[in-house]
Structure formats: structure tokens, C-alpha cells
């Protein structure tokens, strides 16, 4: 049947992955809890187009409580993107949410995948699992997360490894590096910078040292995920999905200024615990395993993301969002309604 279950499909990366799978002829069963991490209406807008496609089925439910076997039954692969994202807000009282959504949800999904003998599980891991280093991060580099978020993603990755080794679940873990592009989450740097520039507001930059990030375009990331669904690679494989070119954050700001045709006034704020100085992913293993190479350079990707921000401002706020669905959210989440 060529069916893939995509968890977190209403999110930033998940909506792109679902689109690419559909365009390649897959059927997509999608699940998302529309968590309140950011506006659920934004997530509904992300999937508005997808829901017109007869090969796309949306299930609004929560992986921490739902019965998962019916969701996993009959699929050719599970792409597990659902998670609580965000490094800087993962401290303190927020942590139980990270434990539930990133660790418990992953364990429940793996258990269901083991029971129904799912042919493949692709897990979205993160560069946040690595310890701080000025060297390129290899898959074998030291794992020493700087944030509770990173700890939770590493715990998920370890569970994936355990289910691969001991319960026979065929898995691939992909460590994403600073993904950007249209629909980027509102808490992420390029999104925040662009909105501030378009509004003529101050741009907040954290820390007194220049940070470097290996910004990777969402279209490239989606291609890697889709390649991982069928690639003939050993179970338990772990791969960096990175452009492989770290860029100083001020340089990104300059690119955005050119695109927006505005000048940023920068407010320097203190270092946020958990923010690493530099990310730089070595992507050679992904190229060897998946035949994958990132093809989108930063100026081109930034142009696309800015165009997306502008397009949102040019159309009515709620266009593409079904107000009935928003109104019915709490009950549909409880019931895990399929539509
Ligand atoms: N964006 C990045 O730069 C980046 C980098 C590294 C790793 N990742 C990982 O990639 C994945 C996707 O990230 P994103 O940026 O698209 O985030 P996102 O918040 O936009 O998407 C995650 C989606 O998961 C859903 N979700 C959360 N908990 C759920 C649960 N218990 N049950 C069902 N749905 C649930 C949310 O409602 C959301 O729509 C995450 O696993 C994240 O940790 C992202």
C-alpha cells in the first residue's frame, strides 16, 4: 500500500516531509496533538493544503495517551517527528513536558512498532545531543547535551537504539542541524529576526560571543527523511543531517537585512543556558548511506523564508485555517478524531 505514518505532521518539518512523501506517491497517515507550544492555528495552516489530498489522513491525537497500535498497523514506515522542541525553555518546570513528549511518547511508539513489526522507524534526533566543540561533529563525537531538551532527544535516540538491538525494530536516527525555511517555528532565530525586521522592531541576539550555526534548509531535510524511509541501511544507523557549513549568526542577519531591505537594530541579551557556541555537522555519512546532499545555500533559503513571511502578511490571518476545526479542538483531541 506504500503507507507512511508521520508523527508531528502539523509541525514545521513534519508538514514538509508529508508533502514530499505525497508528491512521491506515498499514502500518508499523519498524527499530531496540535500542542500549545505555539499557536495550534499555525499548525492547522501548515496542513491546510495537505488535507485536500485524498492520500493524506489526519489523526488529531496525543502519542503520550493514544492507542498507538491502530496508528502503526499496516504502515511501511513510521517517521517520528513529534516532540517538544526548544533548547532554552527546557529548564525548570518545563522539563516534565519534555520527558512526556520526547521520551515517553517515543517509547510508546517504539513499543507499538515492535508489536506490529513495523518495517522501519525513522527518528528525528538533534545536533543538541552533542557536547560543545569547535570541531565538526561526527556521528561518533562526544554526546554531552548542554540542555534538558538535548538530554530528552538523546534519551529518545537511546530508546531507538535499544528497540533496534533487542526488539528487532528496524530504525534510522537522523540528527537535524538548525533547520530553517518556510513555516519555521516562531521561537527559532531566523523566524524571530525576520518578523522583527519586517515590523521595524529590535532584533534580540543572545550571548556576548558570536554563535555559529549549521543552518540546513527544510527542503533538504525533508529529502533526507524521505530517503531514510527506504534506504537499504543497517538498523540502528545514526546520521547527521547538516548542510556542513557553519555560519556566524550576524551573517544571517545581514542576509535578512538585504532580503527585507531594512537595517536591524540589535538588542544584545545575556547568554541563554543550553545555547552552544557552534554547530557544524559532518554530513559525509548521510551522503554515503542515503545518497543525500544538501543543495540549498543560505542566501537562496533565506529568500524563500522571507517570501513566506511576506506572503502571510499579504493574506487574511485565518486563510487556510478551518475555524470549525479550531473550535472543536479539545474534544477532537480527546477522541483522536480522524479527518
Ligand atoms: N527545527 C529544527 O531545527 C530541529 C532541529 C533538530 C531536531 N528537530 C526535531 O525535529 C522534529 C520536528 O521539529 P519541528 O521544528 O518541526 O517542531 P514543531 O514543534 O513545529 O513540530 C512538532 C509537532 O509535534 C507535535 N507533537 C508534540 N508532541 C506530540 C505528542 N505527544 N503527540 C502528537 N503530536 C505531538 C506538535 O503539535 C508539533 O506540531 C522534532 O522531533 C525536533 O526535536 C528539529
User: What number does the ligand 1 atom closest to the CA of 101 have?
Assistant: 31
Q: What is the pLDDT of residue 209?
A: 86
- Active-site position among 98, 130, 149, 217: 149
Q: Is the Cβ atom of 105 under 6 angstroms away from ligand 1? A: yes
Cell of 317: 490571518
* 124 beta partners: 174
Cell of 38: 505555539
Q: Could you give the C-alpha distances from 87 to 9, 90, 187, 239, in angstroms and in order?
A: 21, 6, 10, 21
Q: What is the pLDDT of residue 335?
A: 41
Give the residue extent of every domain in the chain: 3-179+216-244+279-295+316-332
Q: Across the chain, what does the average pLDDT equal?
A: 93
Closest among 159, 156, 160, 158 to 171, alpha carbons compared = 160
pLDDT at 323 over 80: no
3-state secondary structure of 152: helix
CATH class of 3-179+216-244+279-295+316-332: alpha beta
pLDDT average, residue stretch 299-316: 94
| pLDDT band at residue 318 under the 50/70/90 scheme | low
Contact 148, 85 (CB under 8 A): no
- What are the φ/ψ torsions at residue 131 (nearest 5 degrees)? -80, 165
The model's pTM: 0.95
Q: Which helix (H) or strand (E) holds 31?
A: strand 27-32
pLDDT digits (tens, 9 = 90+) for 232-242: 999 999 999 99
pLDDT digits (tens, 9 = 90+) for 21-68: 999 999 999 999 999 999 999 999 999 999 999 999 999 999 999 999
User: What number does the ligand 1 atom closest to the CA of 82 have?
Assistant: 24
pLDDT average, residue stretch 108-135: 97
326 half-sphere exposure, CB direction, 13 A CA radius: 16
Contact 88, 194 (CB under 8 A): no
Q: Is the Cβ atom of 137 under 6 angstroms away from ligand 1? A: no
pLDDT digits (tens, 9 = 90+) for 248-297: 999 999 999 999 998 889 988 989 999 999 999 999 999 999 999 999 99
Pocket probe mutation, ligand 1, options 37, 85, 103, 252, max atoms within 8 Å of Cβ: 85
Amino acid at each position: 500500500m506504500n503507507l507512511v505514518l508521520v508523527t508531528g505532521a502539523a509541525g514545521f518539518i513534519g508538514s514538509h516531509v508529508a508533502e514530499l512523501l505525497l508528491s512521491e506517491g506515498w499514502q500518508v497517515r499523519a498524527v499530531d496533538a496540535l500542542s500549545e507550544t505555539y499557536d495550534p492555528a499555525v499548525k492547522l495552516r501548515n496542513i491546510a493544503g495537505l488535507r485536500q489530498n485524498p492520500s493524506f489522513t489526519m489523526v488529531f491525537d496525543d502519542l503520550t495517551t493514544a492507542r498507538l497500535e491502530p496508528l502503526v498497523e499496516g504502515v511501511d514506515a513510521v517517521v517520528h517527528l513529534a516532540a517538544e522542541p526548544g533548547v532554552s525553555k527546557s529548564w525548570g518546570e518545563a522539563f516534565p513536558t519534555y520527558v512526556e513528549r520526547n521520551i515517553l511518547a517515543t517509547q510508546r511508539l517504539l513499543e507499538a512498532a515492535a508489536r506490529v513489526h513495523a518495517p522501519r522507524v525513522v527518528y528525528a534526533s538533534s545536533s543538541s545531543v552533542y557536547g560543545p566543540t569547535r570541531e565538526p561533529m561526527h556521528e561518533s563525537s562526544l554526546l554531552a547535551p548542554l540542555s534538558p531538551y538535548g538530554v530528552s532527544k538523546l534519551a529518545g535516540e537511546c530508546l531507538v537504539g535499544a528497540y533496534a538491538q533487542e526488539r528487532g525494530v528496524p530504525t534510522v536516527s537522523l540528527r537535524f542541524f538548525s533547520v530553517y525555511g518556510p513555516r519555521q517555528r516562531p521561537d527559532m532565530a531566523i523566524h524571530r529576526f525576520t518578523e522583527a525586521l519586517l515590523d521595524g522592531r529590535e532584533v534580540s541576539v543572545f550571548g556576548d560571543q558570536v554563535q555559529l550555526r549549521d543552518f540546513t534548509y527544510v527542503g533538504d531535510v525533508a529529502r533526507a527523511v524521505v530517503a531514510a524511509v527506504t534506504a537499504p541501511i543497517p538498523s540502528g544507523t545514526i546520521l547527521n543531517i547538516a548542510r556542513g557549513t557553519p555560519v556566524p549568526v550576524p551573517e544571517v542577519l545581514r542576509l535578512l537585512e538585504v532580503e527585507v531591505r531594512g537595517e536591524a537594530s540589535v538588542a544584545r541579551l545575556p547568554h541563554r543556558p543550553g545555547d552552544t557556541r557552534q554547530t557544524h555537522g559532518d554530513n559525509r555519512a548521510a551522503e554515503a548511506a542515503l545518497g543525500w546532499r544538501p543543495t540549498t545555500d543560505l542566501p537562496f533559503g533565506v529568500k524563500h523564508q522571507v517570501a513566506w513571511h511576506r506572503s502571510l502578511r499579504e493574506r487574511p490571518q485565518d486563510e487556510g485555517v478551518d475555524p470549525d476545526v479550531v473550535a472543536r479542538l479539545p474534544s477532537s483531541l480527546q477522541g483522536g478524531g480522524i479527518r
